[in-house]
């Protein structure tokens, strides 16, 4: 099948994920990154923490990133990023699934992304098949069905019907969550 029409959809970051863990000061469980990283030096050993604020009481808490690591074990650029509260370093730590697992909390990705498409809805009625590449700017787990609903401007029922009829061909099931780039084909026949 020759596919001449192509489109790019991008899942773009609109906010950092919330950290879900109990607050030590109140009954709140949601924290947002403060935008700051604390670095404490003891001789040639460093401790590094990501600072969070409770969404309810605004109490500051720390998430250990590195504990008692030798100064030379960190790349100089990374260390400077930590020391200067570089937004890219804060973003990387705030979205780190391995840091979340290591520290026993989970990330809530609700409201952290938006779908940007370059395909007008009217172009979807063209009978020529359309190949869509979906790329992810952040590792937010997003349900494939939700992407299709937003990207195509259709209801969940209509999306499911098109998948069942073979008019939308996917490498994943519509109910699957993903944060990796993938391609799909839309055939409006």
What pLDDT sits at residue 126? 65
Question: What is the pLDDT, as a whole number, of residue 119?
Answer: 62
Residue 171 DSSP SS3: coil
Residue for token digits 């650029």? 77
User: What interhelical angle do 156-164 and 144-152 show, nearest 10?
Assistant: 110
- pLDDT tens per residue across span 65-120: 999 999 999 999 999 999 999 999 999 999 999 999 999 999 999 999 999 987 65
Beta bridge partner(s), residue 178: 142
Scan for tokens 């969070």, then name that residue.
52
For the chain, domain boundaries: 5-14+111-186, 18-108
Note the pLDDT tens digit of each residue in 13-71: 999 999 999 999 999 999 999 999 999 988 899 999 999 999 999 999 999 999 999 99
Q: What is the pLDDT of residues 113-160, one digit of tens each?
A: 999 987 655 455 667 788 899 999 988 899 999 999 999 888 999 999
Sign for the CA dihedral angle at 29, 32, 33, 35 comes to negative
pLDDT value at residue 29: 95
């Amino acid at each position: 099948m020759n596919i001449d029409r192509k489109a790019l959809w991008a899942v773009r970051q609109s906010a950092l994920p919330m950290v879900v863990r109990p607050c030590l000061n109140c009954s709140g469980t949601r924290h947002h990154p403060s935008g700051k990283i604390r670095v404490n030096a003891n001789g040639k050993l460093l401790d590094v923490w990501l600072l969070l604020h409770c969404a309810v009481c605004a109490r500051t808490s720390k998430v250990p990133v590195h504990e008692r690591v030798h100064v030379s074990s960190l790349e100089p650029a990374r260390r400077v990023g930590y020391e200067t509260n570089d937004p890219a370093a804060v973003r990387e730590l705030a979205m780190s699934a391995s840091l979340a697992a290591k520290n026993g909390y989970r990330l809530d990705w609700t409201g952290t992304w938006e779908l940007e498409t370059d395909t007008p809805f009217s172009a979807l009625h063209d009978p020529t098949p359309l190949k869509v590449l979906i790329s992810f700017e952040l590792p937010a787990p997003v349900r494939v069905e939700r992407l299709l609903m937003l990207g195509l401007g259709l209801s969940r029922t209509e999306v499911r019907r098109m998948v069942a009829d073979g008019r939308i061909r996917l490498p994943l099931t519509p109910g699957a969550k993903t944060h990796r780039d993938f391609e799909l084909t839309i055939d409006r026949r």
